[in-house]
Each structure stands twice: as C-alpha cells, then as structure tokens.
Amino acid sequence: MADRVLDLPQGRFELVRRPDRARSQLRAWDAADAYLARHFDEQPVVGTLGIVNDSYGALACALAAHDPYVVADTAMARAGIADNLERNGRAAGAVVSDVDQLPAALDTVVVRVPKTLGLLEDQLHLLRDHLAPGARVVAGGMVRDIHTSTLDLFESILGPTVTSLAERRARLIHPEWQPTLTPPINPWPMRWSHGGTELVNCGGIFSARSIDIGTRLLLDHLPPSTGTVVDLGCGNGVLGIAIAQSETVDQVQFVDASSRAVDSAQLSWTANAATPEAVFYVAERLGAVVEPGSVDVVVNNPPFHEERAVGDGTAWDMFVDAHAALRRGGELRVVANRQLGHHSRIRKIFGNCETVAANRKFVVLSAIR
C-alpha cells in the first residue's frame, strides 16, 4: 500500500488518494507539494490565500490555518481534498472547480504546475483578475513538468520570473506580479471544427487542440442509437454530439469527472445547435448521476493513465458503471488502445465483447447488456 503519512513543518498529515485503490502505490502528494509547504513555513502566507491545482489536499491541509480558497478541476480531486481536510481536522475557505470562482484580490497564491500547459495558460490568464496589486504568486512542480514554455507562460502573463534550485526533483517558480503588463490574448477556450462539428475546448481537457486518433476510429464506428445515450468521459463532447445526429436519439447525457471537460461539452453542444435534449454531469462515477437500467447506449473512450502509470482502474470502473446503467439489450461501445486488453475486462463484466473495428493501435469494442 502507498505511504499515507506526510511530515511537514506545519504538521503530520494522513493523506489518501481518491479513488483509494488497495493495490496502488501512488501517494496523495509529491515532492513539489512538500517543497511548497516548506517554502510557506519559511516565508509565511500573508492575507487571503488561493491554492490552484491542489491534487488531494496536501497543500490545503498544510496551509489550512489561512482558510485557503482551493481550486481543483476534477470531482475526485475536490472530494479527495474535502476528505483529507476532514481526516486531519482542518477546513478550507472553499473548494471550487476553477480560478474564475476565486475571490477578487487574493494576496498570496500557490499554483501547482499542472501537466497540461493549456490548463496552466488559461488559469494564469484567469488569475490576473483575482490578484491584489502586491500579490505574491509562488508556483511549484516536478522538474519533469517544468519546461522553458512553462516559465514563458508565467513571464508573459504575470511578470518577470525566476526559479529556485531543484530539491528532490521539484522546483519552485517565482513570478513577480506586474498588474500593468499587457499579456498575450488568452487562446482558451479554443474552437475548431471536425467534420462539420464545431468543438469548443477549455484549456487542460483531453486532446484540446485536435481530435484524438482513437476518438476518430470510434466516430467511424458509432453504434446505431435510440433513446438515451451516455457519452461517458465526454471531454469536449465530440462523441455525444456525433451520436445526437441520429433522429432516434431522445437524450444525450454528457458525463466527465473534469469540470473543464463538461464545460467544453456544454459549449460544444451549444455551438452545434444539436436538437435532442442534453444533460451535463460532473461526476466521479456514473452511478451517482444515472439510474440503473435507464440507458440505451454508452459510448466511451476511457482514460489510460493514472498519474504517469498506465492504469486500468478508471476504465474498469467505467465498464462496471456502464453495465449497471444500461437496460437489458443496451450497448457499451468503447475505443481503446489495443495493448490495454480491455476486451477481456469487458467480457468479464458483460459476458460478451465483440471487436467492431481495429487498426494498428486501437480497437473498437462492443458489449451488450
């Protein structure tokens, strides 16, 4: 089992990832969280504090004495932060899904550098409207996630930027906030078309700059659809919007754990003036938002990474949830990298699984409830 106890100058914290998988070796924090916490012990927080991209609450717990406003994009992260705060007898000012929900005039902001540059770019642009004139911004990340392009974003959007020495493969970034600086135009959300469908992409979502090649294969092999369709892990909503073209579809339900993904799907849906009813859910598990046996078709391009490890946990949860959500005779249609072996997982859950299409890298799989 993964290590759960983190010792920081601010205290000893028990931190659990979410979902909490029994065999997982992944911890709920990394060296960049610890480096940031140590930094704020030496140079304490002043005034109103914002924390952007806390993973599972390591920073929220360490800096809880300052009632931080915490930003986390996914339902898992927000629930994980709330759980870990409670587990450690701490509280935050609020846990919200995006930077634009932060209070105005923050005095201190901690930014965990995300893996996706587009997310950071959009967040830094949004952050400008939430910084007090003399605000201190300190960012931290693992060295492998900090590139020249990362530092260029801080420099061009916030102001002159320096970095710290690396410690345990983590680094801190210190931009000097210059309210008078004219930043480049924020390119997010990014809009582009694919096969006549307009897609709107918030920074940080999956395949935000072009259509994924796995998604393409599934688009060419969508199931015949009627009734209620779920686009599970919808991203920008491309699969659900394509399926909505069928006149026999009554309702499309777009579900993703990422708030930015669901926002993107909603914007894409509006941009295409699609006709059937659409509903949008940010959810960690499908069962939390959809009645068992109520769905005719689930389309799904599952995530294939948990942190940097290739993991099947989320895909497995999605297949189990799809099975529960489908009515008898309903279909799950999945595209996946063929090396992942999802065929056997789906067969275990549904008792059947056919390969509908394949190319060198991907397979489209179909299972009937």
Ligand X SMILES: C[S@@+](CC[C@H](N)C(=O)[O-])C[C@H]1O[C@@H](n2cnc3c(N)ncnc32)[C@H](O)[C@@H]1O
| Binding status of residue 264 toward ligand X by CB under 6 A | no
With CB under 6 A as the contact rule, the residue among 30, 256, 263, 296 that binds ligand X is 256
Q: Considering the complex, what minimum distance in angstroms separates the CB of residue 33 from ligand X? A: 21
| Binding status of residue 261 toward ligand X by CB under 6 A | yes
| Binding status of residue 259 toward ligand X by CB under 6 A | no
Sorted by sequence, the CB contacts under 8 Å of residue 339 that are 6+ apart come out as: none
Query: Exposed (0-12), middle (13-18) or buried (19+): which is 313, by Cβ within 10 Å?
Result: middle
| Binding status of residue 258 toward ligand X by CB under 6 A | yes
Q: Which is nearer to ligand X, 49 or 232 (CB)?
A: 232
Q: Which is nearer to ligand X, 84 or 197 (CB)?
A: 197
| DSSP state letter for 169 | T
With CB under 6 A as the contact rule, the residue among 207, 245, 294, 337 that binds ligand X is 207
Q: Which is nearer to ligand X, 207 or 251 (CB)?
A: 207
With CB under 6 A as the contact rule, the residue among 155, 212, 250, 312 that binds ligand X is 212
Distance from C-alpha of 61 to C-alpha of 82, rounded to nearest angstrom:
10
For tokens 């642009």, the residue is 125
Q: Which is nearer to ligand X, 35 or 206 (CB)?
A: 206
With CB under 6 A as the contact rule, the residue among 190, 239, 241, 322 that binds ligand X is 239
Residue 17 in 3-state DSSP? coil
- The CB density around residue 348, as the number of other CB atoms within 10 Å, is 12
CA atoms within 13 A on the CB side of 77: 23
Q: 123 and 102 in contact (C-beta within 8 Å)?
A: no
The answer to whether the Cα torsion of 8, 10, 15, 17 is positive or negative is negative
Distance from C-alpha of 57 to C-alpha of 202, rounded to nearest angstrom:
24
Site string for ligand X, 266-305 (x = CB under 6 A): ------------------x----------------x-x--
Bridge partner residues of 298 (DSSP):
230, 332
| Binding status of residue 234 toward ligand X by CB under 6 A | yes
Binding site for ligand X (CB under 6 A): 206-207, 212, 215, 233-235, 238-239, 255-258, 261, 284, 301, 303, 314
